[in-house]
Amino acid sequence: MGLATRVAGIDLAGPAMLASGILGISMDVFRRLLDSGAGAVVSKSLSAEPREGYPNPTMAEAAGGWLNAVGLSNPGAPNFANMMRGAPGVPVVVSLVGSDPDEFVSMARLFEGLEVPAFELNLSCPHVEKVGLEVGDDPELVSRIVRSLKGAGVRVIAKVGLGSSDYLGTVRAAEDAGADAVTAINTVRAMSIDVHSGRPVLSNGFGGLSGPPIRPIAVRCVREITSRHEIPVIGCGGVSCWEDAAEFLLAGASAVQVGTAAGGNPGIFAEINSGISSYMERRGYSEISEVRRAA
């Protein structure tokens, strides 16, 4: 069965991608995941300068998933661009986080000449001030950022989440500004308190909930976007098996991202490809696009 799909102008051999923030920034790991069936890999979100992030504890189990508030720790876009130069032949969708159009464009230019099929804009981190949701909740700013990057001649994927305003307004702004696709959704702002100490379990207090608990929310968002907008959607949130991935495709997604589950099972991409291939054969589908049209 044909597992190839196309999203944001990128041809993927399979529909499952590595989500941003998972399995670090190792080019060797990225290469192995691509060889094992990942359709694409997305880097950790990169800022203009290195960030240390928050002190531990930054992760905790919660509600069958994970709470995290890492604080966007990363080596910085310039350092990661140098890492890519030292590992040719590994295409990476680069995730960027920033606060204004000039910052995003200057970071994107660091990757000129490298194998970057697209830039994913983190417009939805729920636990870092002045970036993430604070940017994504401002449709006019989203529009200016996307237009600036498109003016620089790169492909743009806007990663949207559930902030304090209508997330569909962010989707609309990104689409109207020329974004090539959107990823929906990011982690969901959440909190857990230790009843014995009376203190939050994360050093930052609140963080982002990921994993299976958010999948029904993410599927709903994908269906809402695809029923109202023409822009391609990459579904993200709680995918841990091929059935989860198929659910996103049935909701209208062109591809899916795997985050939390990939951290404990790098072989999940091959499992998803095998499961969806068998599913398509049973249903008589020859292309991924037929799954999207089935629901």
Lowest mean pLDDT among 65-79, 80-94, 158-172: 158-172
Domains for the chain: give ranges and CATH numbers.
5-294 (3.20.20.70)
As to burial, measured by CB atoms within 10 angstroms (0-12 exposed, 13-18 middle, 19+ buried), residue 107 is: buried
b (16+ CB within 10 A) / e for 233-262: bbbbbbbbbbebbbbbbbbbbbbbbbbbbb
221 in active site: no
Place of tokens 């159009």: 101
pLDDT in tens, 192-216: 999 999 999 999 999 999 999 999 9
Measured between alpha carbons, how far is 117 from 115 in angstroms, rounded to an integer? Answer: 6
pTM: 0.96
Distance CA 26, CA 32 (A): 10
pLDDT surpassing 70 at residue 1 = no
pLDDT at residue number 129? 76
* 171 to 115, 124, 142, 218: CA distances (angstroms): 26, 12, 9, 14
For residue 287, pLDDT over 90 is answered with yes
Alpha carbon distance 4, 193 (integer Å): 44
Tokens of 120: 């994913």
